[in-house]
Amino acid sequence: MVRKRAAKTKKPDADYYRIEHNEITAYLKNYLQWLAVRHYSPRTVTLRKINLSRFIQWCEQRSIGHPQEVTRPMLERYRRHLYYYRKGNGEPLTISSQCTRLEPLRGFFKWLTKENYLLYNPASELELPRQHRKLPQHILTVEEIDLILNQTAVHGEIGLRDRAIIETLYSTGLRRIEMINLKLYDIDLANGSLMVREGKGRKDRMVPLGERACAWIQKYIEDVRPEYAMEPDEGVVFLTEYGQAMIKNRMSDMVKKHIAAAGINKPGACHIFRHSMATHMLENGADIRYIQMILGHSVLTTTEIYTQVSIKKLKEIHARTHPAKLTQDKKDNTCEQPTSVGESFSVAQSSLNDKLH
């Protein structure tokens, strides 16, 4: 029986930064409308609003009330402000966070110049901090993933739902937001595939779904989801026990809980299964271009990071081809492996003396 969902009361849209009286805000509203008309994603529009509002608040504190007053030295000063800024816990902003706050400035002032609100673009030569490409720090092994999946059984219906979520994360490598937005009509259990609609960059893609993941999703849809669903049922696949679509933090907390319950001391949540899936497929011989298509990377260089994480194949090739190894084939007429490092040193010393004499 489908329950009825209580009507939600919409909260007033309070302006977080209280910058309405600053004239730059009026230009910001027009810019955000311009982005929406050009079909930028709501998430992109929201993020640009937040980060540009932070900049306007910084300007307001320094009595800068018009976009015509913003100069390149001011933007450089704002960049230094972000570099020296400290959060509530005393930590600095990461390089990625600094870039996230600076990048919208280039688009905003480019638009102001294009619309003839400014005679020149002060952000045209604004350089972003250099970001170093980091390798995924933690990858789960196949054995660890099995431990995580098996311990969900002790949680009853919720555990069944959680296993279906984790199986899907590991099988498809979906991003967290893609998992949350997944609808029933996006999943084709008969053919073992699912459709990601408007993923990163508002791009659709078809992703294969493994047999094991299909089996657990089907069991969840048949046995658990009808108990959670409430009218109006919008068709979201993974629901909370209150019949609502999961939010990002809730899904991450759920995954973290199961990783910790399995006794695995590795940080991460949903995204660690994406990294693990790509690494395991690469180690088992999958072509990197197919992995790129599954993950939804627009450029191959983003996927190539997993070739550096996958050390298993490198070790095999290194052991097979590098000449400096302790054992060699008997047919090469070489000695057996020494029983100790000291014996190895003695053999090497004897060989050197024979060559000298």
Q: Which residues are catalytic?
A: 175, 200, 271, 274, 297, 306
Give strand pairing partners of 231.
4
Tokens at 297, concatenated: 């990377």
Output the DSSP codes for 86-146: B-TTSPBPPHHHHHHHHHHHHHHHHHHHHTTSSSS-TTTTPPPPPPP-PPPS----HHHHH
- Who contacts 11 (Cβ-Cβ below 8 Å, separation ≥6)? none
Kindly report the backbone phi and psi dihedral angles of residue 117, in degrees, each rounded to the nearest multiple of 5, phi listed first.
-80, -25
Q: Are 152 and 162 in contact (CB under 8 A)?
A: yes
* Residues 187, 167: Cα–Cα separation, whole Å: 14
Residue type, 208: P
- What is the sign, positive or negative, of the torsion defined by CA atoms of 186, 209, 262, 283? negative
Q: Which residue has the tokens 């739902």?
A: 161
* Residues 51, 47: Cα–Cα separation, whole Å: 6
* Residues 161, 239: Cα–Cα separation, whole Å: 8
Tokens at 203, concatenated: 């791009």
* Residues 111, 30: Cα–Cα separation, whole Å: 10
